[in-house]
Amino acid sequence: MRLLLVEDEKRMAQALCEILHQEKYDVDHFADGLEGLLALETNTYDLAILDVMLPHKNGFQIAREARKKGVRTPILMLTAKSELDDKVTGLDCGADDYLTKPFMTRELLARLRALSRRNINTPDGALTFGDVSLSKETSLLRCGENSVRLSEKELRILEYLIANQGQILSREQLAVKIWGYNSDTEYNNVEVYMSFVRKKLSFVGAKTEIKAVRGIGYELREGHV
Ligand code: CA
């Protein structure tokens, strides 16, 4: 689970990073509002935690601008008690939930779990698109009677494509999503893994296909019947 944390108070950020790592979240932290916005706009995070008062751009602006660009990552806002109208403004700007500082760790973790569940499109946690379904629990890709197991990266790639259906995802977005913001992954890797996923789609006889859009990126299509 990839999480973006934008928080400028050093001690708070350190404490949050530690807690989130313990809970197995893969955290990218930024202390600057503008850097936070650029990271969020990569649309590669499963969750985002935004502080309100930040240098260069506040949390509300970040949420509003990211939503305008079609970013659907669930956003949890951290607000100070004194900022009374923040709750309203925060929800208004496209944030999904808010938490008042100071807060209990378990309260934060409960909110994050609730937000991450919103991303899953069927009750049993299977993702569906066109004629295929994908189980995150078993890593099985199914089409009718056929199924095949995906590797961890193949699973994450297909999951990401399904979550962003109808959009073209760039190689950069895919590289950041699968290998992380600071990795030196060559974009070739994206192509290699994309071909693995395609082979598995054709192995199960799916009409669903990954279309390469020249010079832009990849898009999941239902294919021709
Ligand atoms: Ca702050």
Give the helix ranges, DSSP H, for the chain: 10-22, 33-40, 59-68, 86-92, 105-117, 152-163, 171-179, 187-203
What is the rounded CA–CA span in Å between residue 77 and residue 80? 10
Q: Is the peptide bond before 123 cis (omega within 30 degrees of 0)?
A: no
Q: Over the stretch 40-83, which tens digit does the pLDDT of each residue have?
A: 998 889 899 999 999 999 999 999 999 888 888 899 999 876 66
Q: Over the stretch 131-183, which tens digit does the pLDDT of each residue have?
A: 999 988 788 999 999 999 999 889 999 999 998 888 899 988 888 888 876 66
Tokens 């790639």 belong to which residue?
157
State in Å: Cα 198 to ligand 1 middle. Answer: 44
Better-predicted residue by pLDDT, 39 or 127: 39
State in Å: Cα 211 to ligand 1 middle. Answer: 42
State in Å: Cα 55 to ligand 1 middle. Answer: 8
CB-based contact 3:47 (threshold 8 Å):
yes
State in Å: Cα 94 to ligand 1 middle. Answer: 19
